[in-house]
């Protein structure tokens, strides 16, 4: 089958790309490995899963009618509600007819003679297209963590990002959770209420801010819908796409009592936006210390047992330099009689046994063990299929020392291949849904421009790619992020290049660069037509 554009991935970004490019008159097919749409929101069906960006902001902005129709029930939507929303969008915009489910892409190969991409599924089916859009997500390749002896364990082993369709029955069960990132933090209080006994295996204590979740009242719903355009504009013009604009002062220039009051207000309402209480929390160590110290005190106040409290307080890294969590009762869950913590930084997991897990010479018996150990972030999903560009060079080879791109969107040597919210773009340092819509809107204008001018090839120049990578690195060096090993830097996987991957210059700054690029006739891209080339 030959189409104008093949989109890989039917999550939020892939569906938006399908809708927008189809409206433009392109023929589009979306290839999706799963048997349902929704991407990460389809797979991560663990108990307690919910978004930690507010529902009104973590939703599509492209259709004012959709905005007015949809009624969010809670400030932070649960996974089932988000999946219902995604399915509603697919039906409302008649998207399903162009989505191929159960279709895992094995390879995408650029054919230089025809200037077309040839995409092959793992069952041998083939599609060809002028353009390929990679919309596979940044956190959709789960880490396949294993421990010695795992196959001997007699109970059930579950990976949080491949949650079973049949909900496990936790009643009366002894449950282990390994990992205390956002997934572990979200499921802990919920499973604690259901299971007979829950043991959390923590390697690194993380900062977490209360979600301050609440039902959305009719009054709030009406107020947001009356001013939705302004809300969207505020989000687009805020650093992270969440709508929060920081106090323009340095945290250390503010009198201590005023700073404390500002943190208290942010703690009680802002969730993820806490990091934006002052402009330099992620830029200046002394400012960050004030925020980190405040959060440590808040965590301490939630945990009754002094020894446990000590273990749960993050100590060795500045707040926000690893992705903080947003929780609904995580720390308080450890005050329950049926919840225990094992600090595996002190006593690493040695092995699984038929009965459970062995650490520090002690065997802990379990019926269910849950891995919440995260993902091969940013590049894991993009490098799973074999993507071969000009001259037979693969994306894996090209990115062997870390991902390089122009604007996070295009890669030199890979004409007409475009990445949505990939490394080199604000992606995981932003409201990802907003960032993906921003890029898709920009791409649709680029496609219209090229079609109008007869350009059939779009490719990042080598020089533009080099400059962009340098710029991404320069911006990162202005921040505290590089101080801490995190998945932003590739530290979550052994042998992964240590390169800071997301763009830390903010969604507004990034959008201005996109706009400037377009205004300059897509400077940095080689736009080519069959007979002659135009180097912009
Ligand atoms: O994964 P993580 P996650 N043995 O990488 C530990 C998004 N998200 O699935 O830090 C034992 O954050 C690891 O320890 P350490 C969000 O962007 C969003 O929780 O490597 N432990 C860490 O504690 C989030 O940041 C939402 O020392 C091992 C944990 O497992 C991202 O997804 C909800 C281990 C992994 O934490 C990923 O979150 C959920 C091992 N071998 C997720 N390997 C919402 O929007 C790793 N760990 C709500």
pLDDT in tens, 173-217: 999 999 999 999 999 999 999 999 999 999 999 999 999 999 999
Residue 92 lies in a domain: yes
The answer on 159 and 135 residing in a single domain is: no
Instruction: Work out which ligand 1 atom sits closest to the CA atom of 345.
Output: 27
Find the 46 Cα to ligand 1 centroid distance in Å. Answer: 14
* CB distance 10 to 32 below 8 Å: yes
Instruction: Work out which ligand 1 atom sits closest to the CA atom of 185.
Output: 19
pLDDT surpassing 90 at residue 51: yes
Domain boundary among 322, 338, 371: 371
> Which residues line ligand 1 at a C-beta cut-off of 6 Å?
50-52, 139, 145, 178-184, 186, 203-204, 323, 344, 372-375, 428, 487, 492
The answer on 273 and 185 residing in a single domain is: yes
Name the residue at shortest CA distance from atom 45 of ligand 1: 51
pLDDT surpassing 70 at residue 531: no
pLDDT of residue 532: 40
pLDDT in tens, 380-423: 999 999 999 999 999 999 999 999 999 999 999 999 999 999 99
The answer on 454 and 489 residing in a single domain is: yes
The answer on 191 and 290 residing in a single domain is: yes
The answer on 213 and 332 residing in a single domain is: yes
Instruction: Work out which ligand 1 atom sits closest to the CA atom of 160.
Output: 9
* CB distance 24 to 16 below 8 Å: no
Question: Binning pLDDT at 50, 70 and 90, where does residue 520 land?
Answer: very high
Q: Token digits for 192?
A: 């604690």
Ligand 1 pocket mutation, candidates 50, 79, 143, 183, criterion most atoms within 8 A of CB:
183
DSSP characters for 101-148?
-S--EEEEEEETTTTEEEEEETTS-EEEEEEEEE---SS-SB-----T
Residue 90 lies in a domain: yes
Beta strand extents in 239-383 (DSSP E only): 325-327, 339-343, 349-352, 356-359, 362-365, 368-371
pLDDT surpassing 50 at residue 60: yes
Q: Can you name the residues that pair with 177 across neighbouring β-strands?
A: 200, 370
Find the 503 Cα to ligand 1 centroid distance in Å. Answer: 20
pLDDT of residue 535: 47
Find the 357 Cα to ligand 1 centroid distance in Å. Answer: 20
Overall domain count for the chain: 2
The answer on 28 and 131 residing in a single domain is: yes
Task: Give me the CATH number covering residue 45.
Answer: 3.50.50.60
Q: Can you name the residues that pair with 129 across neighbouring β-strands?
A: 3, 117
Residue 227 lies in a domain: no
Name the residue at shortest CA distance from atom 13 of ligand 1: 179
The answer on 184 and 89 residing in a single domain is: no
Collect all residues with Cβ–Cβ distance below 8 Å to 442 and sequence separation of at least 6. Answer: 409, 514, 518
Find the 367 Cα to ligand 1 centroid distance in Å. Answer: 22
Residue 128 lies in a domain: yes
Beta sheet of 457-460, edge-to-edge order: 457-460, 525-528, 533-535
The answer on 401 and 261 residing in a single domain is: no
Find the 224 Cα to ligand 1 centroid distance in Å. Answer: 32
Domain boundary among 307, 340, 371: 371
pLDDT in tens, 122-161: 999 999 999 999 999 999 999 999 999 999 999 999 999 9
3-class SS at 28? strand
The answer on 121 and 46 residing in a single domain is: yes
* CB distance 72 to 216 below 8 Å: yes
Ligand 1 pocket mutation, candidates 59, 76, 181, 201, criterion most atoms within 8 A of CB:
181
Find the 373 Cα to ligand 1 centroid distance in Å. Answer: 5
Name the residue at shortest CA distance from atom 21 of ligand 1: 179
Closest among 432, 419, 377, 409 to 513, alpha carbons compared: 409
Question: Binning pLDDT at 50, 70 and 90, where does residue 530 land?
Answer: low
Residue 303 lies in a domain: yes
pLDDT in tens, 305-348: 999 999 999 999 999 999 999 999 999 999 999 999 999 999 99
Name the residue at shortest CA distance from atom 20 of ligand 1: 492
Domain that holds residue 358: 150-217+235-371
Query: Distance between CA 268 and CA 274 in Å, rounded?
Result: 9
pLDDT surpassing 60 at residue 533: no
User: b/e string for 425-457 if b means 16 or more Cβ within 10 A?
Assistant: bbbbbbbbbbbbbbbbbbbbebbeebeeeebbb
Name the residue at shortest CA distance from atom 47 of ligand 1: 373
Residue 521 lies in a domain: yes
How many residues belong to the chain?
Answer: 536
* CB distance 360 to 195 below 8 Å: no
Find the 221 Cα to ligand 1 centroid distance in Å. Answer: 32
Region for residue 506 given its phi and psi (left: phi exceeds 0; alpha: psi -120 to 50; beta: otherwise): left
Higher pLDDT residue, 284 or 239?
284
Instruction: Work out which ligand 1 atom sits closest to the CA atom of 180.
Output: 23
* CB distance 500 to 472 below 8 Å: yes
User: b/e string for 292-302 if b means 16 or more Cβ within 10 A?
Assistant: bebbbebbeeb
Percent of the chain with pLDDT over 90: 96
Instruction: Work out which ligand 1 atom sits closest to the CA atom of 44.
Output: 39
Name the residue at shortest CA distance from atom 37 of ligand 1: 374
Name the residue at shortest CA distance from atom 10 of ligand 1: 204
Domain boundary among 345, 371, 397: 371
Reported as half-sphere exposure (CB side, CA atoms, 13 A), residue 385 has a value of: 25
The answer on 397 and 315 residing in a single domain is: no
Query: Distance between CA 266 and CA 509 in Å, rounded?
Result: 24
Query: Distance between CA 488 and CA 467 in Å, rounded?
Result: 20
The answer on 173 and 114 residing in a single domain is: no
pLDDT in tens, 337-377: 999 999 999 999 999 999 999 998 999 999 999 999 999 99
Find the 53 Cα to ligand 1 centroid distance in Å. Answer: 17
Query: Distance between CA 224 and CA 436 in Å, rounded?
Result: 22
Instruction: Work out which ligand 1 atom sits closest to the CA atom of 487.
Output: 5
The answer on 398 and 265 residing in a single domain is: no
Mean pLDDT of the chain: 96
Residue 228 lies in a domain: no
Residue 222 lies in a domain: no
Question: Binning pLDDT at 50, 70 and 90, where does residue 244 land?
Answer: confident
pLDDT surpassing 70 at residue 474: yes
């Amino acid at each position: 089958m030959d189409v104008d554009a093949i989109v890989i991935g039917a999550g939020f970004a892939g569906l938006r790309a399908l809708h927008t490019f189809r409206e433009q008159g392109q023929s589009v097919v979306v290839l999706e490995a799963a048997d349902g749409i929704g991407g990460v929101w389809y797979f991560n069906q663990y108990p307690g899963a919910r978004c930690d960006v507010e529902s009104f902001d973590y939703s599509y902005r492209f259709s004012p009618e959709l905005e007015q129709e949809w009624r969010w029930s809670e400030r932070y939507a649960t996974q089932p509600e988000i999946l219902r929303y995604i399915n509603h969008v697919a039906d409302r915009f008649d998207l399903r007819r162009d989505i191929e489910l159960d279709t895992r892409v094995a390879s995408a190969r650029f054919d230089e003679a025809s200037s077309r991409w040839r995409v092959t599924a793992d069952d041998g089916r083939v599609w060809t297209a002028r353009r390929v859009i990679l919309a596979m997500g940044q956190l959709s390749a789960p880490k396949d963590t294993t421990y010695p002896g795992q196959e001997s364990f007699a109970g059930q082993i579950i990976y949080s990002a491949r949650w079973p369709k049949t909900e496990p029955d936790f009643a009366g069960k002894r449950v282990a959770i390994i990992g205390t990132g956002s997934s572990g933090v979200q499921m802990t209080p919920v499973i604690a209420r259901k299971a007979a006994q829950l043991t959390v295996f923590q390697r690194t204590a993380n900062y977490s801010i209360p979600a301050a979740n609440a039902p959305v009242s009719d009054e709030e719903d009406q107020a947001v819908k009356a001013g939705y355009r302004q809300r969207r504009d505020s989000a687009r013009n805020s650093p992270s796409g969440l709508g929060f604009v920081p106090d323009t002062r340095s945290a250390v220039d503010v009198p201590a009592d005023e700073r404390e009051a500002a943190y208290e207000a942010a703690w009680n309402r802002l969730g993820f936006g806490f990091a934006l209480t002052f402009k330099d929390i992620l830029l200046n160590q002394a400012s960050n210390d004030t925020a980190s110290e405040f959060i440590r005190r808040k965590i301490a106040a939630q945990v009754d047992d002094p020894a446990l409290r000590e273990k749960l307080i993050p100590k060795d890294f500045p707040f926000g330099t690893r992705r903080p969590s947003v929780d609904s009762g995580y720390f308080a869950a450890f005050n329950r009689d049926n919840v225990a913590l094992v600090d595996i930084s002190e006593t690493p997991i040695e092995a699984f046994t038929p009965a459970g897990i062995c650490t520090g010479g002690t065997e802990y018996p379990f019926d269910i063990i849950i891995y919440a150990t995260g993902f091969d972030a940013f590049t894991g999903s993009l490098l799973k299929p074999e993507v071969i560009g000009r001259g037979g060079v693969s994306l894996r080879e090209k990115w062997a020392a870390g991902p390089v791109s122009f604007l996070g969107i295009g890669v030199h040597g890979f004409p007409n291949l475009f990445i949505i919210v990939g490394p080199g773009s604000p992606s995981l340092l932003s409201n990802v849904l907003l960032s993906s819509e921003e890029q898709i809107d920009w791409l649709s204008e680029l496609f219209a421009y090229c079609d109008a001018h007869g350009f059939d090839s779009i490719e990042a120049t080598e020089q533009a790619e080099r400059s962009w990578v340098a710029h991404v690195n320069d911006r990162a060096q202005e921040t505290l992020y590089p101080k801490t090993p995190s998945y932003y830097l590739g530290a979550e996987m052994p042998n992964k290049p240590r390169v800071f991957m997301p763009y830390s210059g903010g969604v507004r700054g990034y959008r201005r660069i996109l706009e400037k690029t377009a205004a300059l006739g897509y400077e940095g891209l080689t736009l080519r037509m069959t007979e002659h080339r135009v180097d912009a």
